[in-house]
Structure 1
Amino acid sequence: MSLALDIVLSPKQERSIAESTARLNIWEGAIRSGKTIASLIRWVTFVANAPRGGSLVIVGKTADTIARNTFEPLMDPAITGPIAKRISYTRGAPTATILGRRVEIISSNDSRAENRLRGMTAVGAYVDEATLIERPFWDMLLSRLSVKGAKLFASTNPDAPSHWLKKDFLDRAHELDLKSWHFRLDDNHSLDPAYVKALKSEYSGLWYKRFIEGRWVMAEGAIYDMFDEDKHVVRELPLMEKWLSVGVDYGTANPFAALLVGVSVPDLDGQRRIYVASELRYDSRAERRQLTDSEYSARLTNWLDRIPGTYGPGTHGVRPDWLVVDPSAASFIQQLYRDHYRPMQADNAVLDGIRTVSNVISADHLRVHESCRGLLDEMAGYAWDERKAEKGDDAPVKVDDHSCDALRYAIHTTQAAWLRLLEPVPTL
């Protein structure tokens, strides 16, 4: 089947679509590099002529990522042309219809996902974000592709070089019925050069190597290696347009850390920034006394009441839009409700949170007041766990990270609230 497309494909995309005839076909590499579009176009052409006698299946980490990464582009006429009208899917539904064929939708995050695979005979599978799929689920999926001519198509960003997908499949392509294509950001010629330049400036360290260069590299060294105290630490705070959030990492035996975060008014260049304005820390070991939930809540209130200059000279006290709390601190969250706060549980996706903070620093959108010594001391030593990295897991060393966690909660959880604000304001 041939598709009449409105988009212009790069030579690498065209080759990957034409040559993806193996049992396993994997597109891997940088973000926005064109790999997903190429893999989806190939998937649609496969569905049109797929063998009968078994199921077609689309797999992803969650129902939301499947909808966003797979069906939004598939149902976009600018990408799939008139074929878009022949694709039917409702977000969260267990099945979809593509070119008249029923397609099973399975999120691997669902505890029942592997059970849906058991007993299935599959003729074709598409896997979104393959590195996020657990190995037993992947192996089960491959065992279901038993019909003659059955094929798997997958796209993924890189991970650690010891990740099972790299080590046991991509590196063994010559031993398997497997073809793969490596994409870099610069392989996508349809992107605006200004956007590519901006994207490159927003990533650094591990994220730049993986998401821009498309390299399978180990997490090692400092996590916030782009943070420079000479550049990112300030002695004075500007006026705040919005007191955004307080991020709280709760501790009893470990330190309690809270950070107040605001978004400044535009500077002379029309740029707003995120400011970590103040810090509250309590270390029960150093103080030799643990505090109760009510005592922590009272200290939080007194601290916010003392923040100066919020409503003009001589005034004190702030109440940010969001009070974002460590989701494991259930009893403290209940205490905050009793004390007339409206806390929200933090998004505790560690890697996503670290990446959000890293991007904000790399884009020069973050400043930290010099009084936040707990955070500044931790950021200097916040590092990747080398032992876990060698096993294929990206994780920070869990030592002296309480203010770093509070920063992650305060910024990553509220991303939707500040993202548009950081767009430069046009100046005359």
Structure 2
Amino acid sequence: MSMNDLLTTKQQEVLHSYLADDYKMMILTGAIRSGKTFIDNLLFLYELRRTAESAKKRGKIHPQYILAGASSGSIQNNVINSLRNQFGIELSPDRHNHFHLYGVDIIPVYTQSIRGLSGARGFDSNGAYINEASLANQFVFQEILNRCSEPGARIICDTNPDQPQHFLKTDYIDNEKPGLKTKSFRFTIDDNTFLASDYIQQIKAATPTGMFYDRNILGLWVSGEGLVYRDFDERTMTIKREDLPDNLTYTAGIDWGFDHPTAIEVIGHDSNGNYYLVDEAYGQFEQVDPHWIKVAERFKKKYGMGLTFFADTARTEHISNFRQHHIKTEYGYKNVLDGIERVASIIKQHKFYVVNGAAPNFINEIYQYIWDEKTGAPVKENDHAQDAVRYCIATPLWKEEQARKQNKNRQRSTGYLNDLGLV
């Protein structure tokens, strides 16, 4: 078996640099499914072996190494499970939640919020592997670098691109100061030559035009520009009410108003993954709860008494009031960019339709819903119906995805217990 059977050309380039070049930090950045995390997981194993050998030469009996990720779940999914599936290496946490391999104490650090600082303090590390580095809080990221003070300590990172003013891009990837000794590699989805060509074409076809395509497919650090939903075409994505499919399942999304309008959008979806925006309520009223409770009850009578409302969590008192009136209301999924990407992907695949005349405020907003190039987020204007639609579509999809992951993990755990004869 040759190296070409094991690693892509891009991965071999990274491995060669790892073995031959002088650097302090190596950053792999780029597209989804491009193979960067696989090779970084391999380099992580190399780093642990290198740490063990260095510690032995220096008479260190308890070498430590940082394994960092956005959360415990992301470390488990992206690194621990991948090591098991890809290399057959089983890592189980001890009572301190540390891992151990090759005699190295592997210390997890969670980087998504400032709370991760506590896990990164009080010890010297032989290096760090930072997964999903662009999601890291900058102060936690810097503290990890500060901890890597043992002789020869190095940092390896992998990440998807973010907006071009992100600290990882400006302070490390683009920073050419010699003392930093940073090596970086950009991956595109086409670099993963182990993926089937029809699968790659499918992902490209489903990825929204603009920022998401540039980041997820081409691996570029870009800001959004222009319309958020650039692929929406009113000419081809409207439908007459009488042409709606039968047996649609209906849900609703709510964006609560405070000093702006409240929006409720009702969407039906079918078993083929198509979504139909069928109704809307929009406006500002002084008597917020009485008015919108009446609207919700009207929608329940029209679309089914079990209609679920996925609501903005900024006004939890309204959610509580809805529930007290027996209106089924759940917290909406609040990850804005991920939610937008889910909706935009459905639009890109031409699986989103609006009933003629049913949602005039949504139609009005969508042509004014634009990216803020400075922040990389949507401008907080003309977004009320857009937010409501996002809650309605993205929340169930996210919940289904989490349920599949939990079920997969349960099946895997049961399999291990069976192998050990414990069940």
1:47, CA displacement in angstroms? 0.6
Is 1:113 aligned to 2:95, yes or no? no
Q: Distance in 1 between matches of 2:333 and 2:131?
A: 22
- Residue 13 of structure 1: CA displacement? 0.2
The alpha carbon displacement at 1:238 in A equals 1.9
Identify the residue that residue 290 of structure 2 maps to in structure 1: 294
1:303 and 2:308 are equivalent in the alignment: no
CA–CA distance in structure 1, aligned partners of residues 311 and 26 of structure 2: 42
Change (3 A) 1:418 1:65: closer
1:415 maps onto 2:397 in alignment: yes
Measured in 1, the distance between the counterparts of 2:306 and 2:154 equals: 52
Matched, 1:230 2:212: no
1:342 is displaced (CA, Å) by 2.7
Match of 1:186 among 179, 182, 190: 190
The reply to whether residue 257 of structure 1 matches residue 260 of structure 2 is no
Measured in 2, the distance between the counterparts of 1:367 and 1:255 equals: 23
Distance 2:27 2:41 in 1: 11
Report the Cα distance in structure 1 between the residues aligned to 2:307 and 2:99, rounded to whole angstroms. Answer: 39
Tell me: CA distance 1:416–1:398, structure 2 relative to 1, closer, same or farther (3 Å).
closer
Distance 2:399 2:157 in 1: 33
Q: Offset of 1:29 from its aligned partner?
A: 0.8
TM-score (norm 1): 0.84
- Report the residue type matching 2:119 in the other structure: R
- Distance, in Å, in 2 between the alignment partners of 1:150 and 1:417 is 40
Runs (4+) of structure 1 exceeding 6 A deviation are 3-7
Offset, 1:106? 1.4
- CA gap 1:374/1:352 in 2 versus in 1, 3 angstroms: same
1:343 maps to which of 325, 329, 336: 329
In the TM superposition, residue 262 of structure 1 has moved relative to its aligned partner by 1.5
Q: CA RMSD in A?
A: 2.4
Shift of 1:129: 1.0
Q: Does 1:128 align with 2:131?
A: yes
CA distance in structure 1 between the aligned counterparts of 2:300 and 2:258, rounded to whole angstroms: 21
Tell me whether 1:217 sits opposite 2:217 in the alignment: no
Distance in 2 of aligned mates of 1:105 and 1:4: 34
TM-score by length of 2: 0.85
- Change in CA separation of 1:300 and 1:321 when aligned onto 2, cut-off 3 Å: closer
Any conservation in 2 of the 1:95–1:103 contact (CA below 8 Å)? yes
Q: CA deviation at 1:332?
A: 1.0
8 Å CA contact 2:24–2:181 kept in 1: the answer is yes
Match of 1:406 in 2: 388
Consecutive unaligned residues in structure 1, runs of 5 or more: 266-270, 285-289, 308-316, 420-428
With over 3 angstroms needed to count, the CA separation of the structure-2 counterparts of 1:246 and 1:240, relative to structure 1, is: farther
In structure 2, list runs of 5 or more residues that go unmatched: 402-423
Structure 2 residue aligned with 1:268: none
The Cα shift of 1:122 comes to 0.8
Question: Do the aligned partners of 2:307 and 2:328 also contact (CA within 8 Å) in 1?
Answer: no
| 418 and 114 in structure 1: CA distance in 2 versus 1, 3 angstrom threshold | closer
Q: Does 1:157 align with 2:143?
A: no
8 A contact 2:306–2:328 mirrored in 1: no
| Whole-Å separation in 2 of the counterparts to 1:148 and 1:96 | 22
Shift of the alpha carbon at 1:417? Answer: 6.5
Instruction: Find the counterpart in structure 1 of residue 106 from structure 2.
Output: 103
Give the match's secondary structure for 1:328: helix
Q: What CA deviation, in whole Å up to 9, does each residue of 1:219-241 have, x standing for no partner? A: 21111111110111222342244
Change (3 A) 1:252 1:115: closer
Asked if 1:318 is matched to 2:284, the reply is: no
Cα distance between partner residues in 2 of 1:45 and 1:361 = 43
Q: Distance in 2 between matches of 1:190 and 1:223?
A: 32
The percentage of aligned residue pairs carrying the same residue is 26
Q: Which amino acid aligns with 2:244?
A: P
1:94 and 1:106 in contact (8 A); partners too: no
Q: Aligned residues, how many?
A: 387
Distance in structure 1 (CA, Å) of the matches to 2:399 and 2:156:
36
Indicate which of 151, 166, 170 corresponds to 1:167: 170
Give the residue type in structure 2 aligned to 1:382. Answer: Y
Partner of 1:278: 279
Partners of 1:93 and 1:105 within 8 A in 2? no
In structure 2, how many angstroms separate the alpha carbons of the residues matched to 1:411 and 1:273? 11
> Residue 216 and residue 395 in structure 1: after superposition, are their counterparts in 2 closer, same or farther (change >3 A)?
same
Q: What is the distance in 2 between the residues matched to 1:112 and 1:238? A: 49
Q: Is 1:379 matched with 2:375?
A: no
Residues 223 and 9 from structure 1, CA distance in 2 versus in 1: closer, same or farther, beyond 3 angstroms? same
- Write 1 or 2 for the structure with the bigger share of helix: 2
SS of the residue aligned with 1:332?
Answer: helix
3-state SS of 2:184 partner:
strand
**Deviation (angstroms), 1:167:** 1.2
